[in-house]
Structure 1
Amino acid sequence: MTPDRLPRIVRPHRLSEEVGAVLDRRIRSGAFAPGERLPTEARLSEEFEVSRAVVREAIARLKAEGLVESRQGAGAFVARRLGAGVFRMGPGLAEADGALEIFELRLIVEVAAAERAALRRTPQQLEAIGAALARMDVALTCGEDGAMADDDFHCAIAAASGNPLIGRFVAFVSQEYSASRVPTWSAEGVSRGLAGAAQDEHRAVFDAIAAGDVEAAGQAAQRHLLSAAGRLGIVVPTLQVGDLQHVDEEGRDG
């Protein structure tokens, strides 16, 4: 029996996020050029019909994204290298498009990580993956929250890929999509069988990695991520050869 699907939790946008999103689009579109000074807080406050505090918070967000930089006594300027050294996912699971993009990114990175882990994992790394799996088993048995162990499981696989950049990347961004695991491990998710289904998928990934089966590890990781998305009502299209040919033809036409 297929476990019931849980709705995604959507949080309301703040005014500062809306203002920041508009400025973000203007910067990325070139309406504000790299190095150009942004309008003053007073002017932006008037344009958006919000308080200067809202504008200030929006600018702070853009600074955190690496899109804006401050110059002492001169104001805020568009960064000359947009987003340099910064990676964030934005609204993510709060919006359908953002959730789809997150799962597509996870498919690209984590399937490859699982394949490499099957080939390269050390006994200690395999033990770390298995320990996280065991913690999720305990959480299921005791009715506890296994979301953190779920995070650790995926991070341990990335670390076992043998590529430190993959490990660091997954560890860095996992906090951005860890919310996708909360509905699965909630009391309702456990009672509906979501956590049990996810754990079966986790075990398939672990078994393939332990067996050193590269192809099976990649396939199991892909099945798990597609199923995890499905439990949140997200349909992730898988890329086919025809899709790649279509993209290539569009590029040549352009």
Structure 2
Amino acid sequence: MTENRATTWNQLMDFLYEDAWTPALRRFRPSYAFRGLADAVFTLDTSLMRLGNDYASIEGHLLRNFKKYALHNVTEHDSFWYWLSVAQHHGLPTRLMDWTFSPYVALHFVTSSLDYYDRDGAIWCLNYKKVHQELPGSLGKLLEEEGADVFTVDMLRQIDSLHDFDDLANEPFALLFEPPSIDDRIVNQYALFSVISDPTISLSQWLESRPDMYRRIIIGHELKWEIRDKLDQANINERVLFPGLDGLSGWLRRQYIQPSGDDVISDCNPGEP
């Protein structure tokens, strides 16, 4: 695993777009998904893991009850992965984890919570092509036949449950898929999800023996205000990434807060996607 620390904007851009040039396409198209964290000490634990003891045993109950009670609010859909995506999107604890194709969106989540401006942040860069080299045969073949780099909900339709997903291989594996375009928030955040075939293993743990699949960029806390100002000027902010009155209010609240040296300024925005 490569880890670099960025203390200037230009340095940060170099790290984010490292290996981005793809000669076969003659384009800057990196094979990375990005996840921004407000504090560099945060790991890649899922929201399901944060429920505490015996969380794996209640995963099925959470999903079953979500579908039962959400039915009148969500258009009927026969895809299990559609329902899992909707649940994750609306805050249900799941084994999914949010990522983005956009390094700028990841930077937003590094700098969205002013509570963490006295701490270094981090961006995890996950090479989804290398992750998918370890897929079980049936899934690897499906991806190859589609000529795709990541899955969609429709491509995963043949897997009817997480139990079936977990049984596809003897060893845990990971994959990334794009959620359905449920609303503008998913579209604007250029979102995708990761999932591991074992709810008790975090992506951090899974990657420990696979250092060639990812790299991490540590972002010095002294750089956060510059990043935040430049993202706002580039229109990467709450108003765009969280369309609606909540995002608008969060954006306006932060616009009228001024940096004041080393003071910690309170803000209720989440520190991670």
Question: TM-score scaled to structure 2, two decimals?
Answer: 0.26
Larger Rg: 1
* Bigger share in helix: 1
Q: Structure with the greater relative contact order (CA < 8 A, sep ≥ 6): 1 or 2?
A: 2
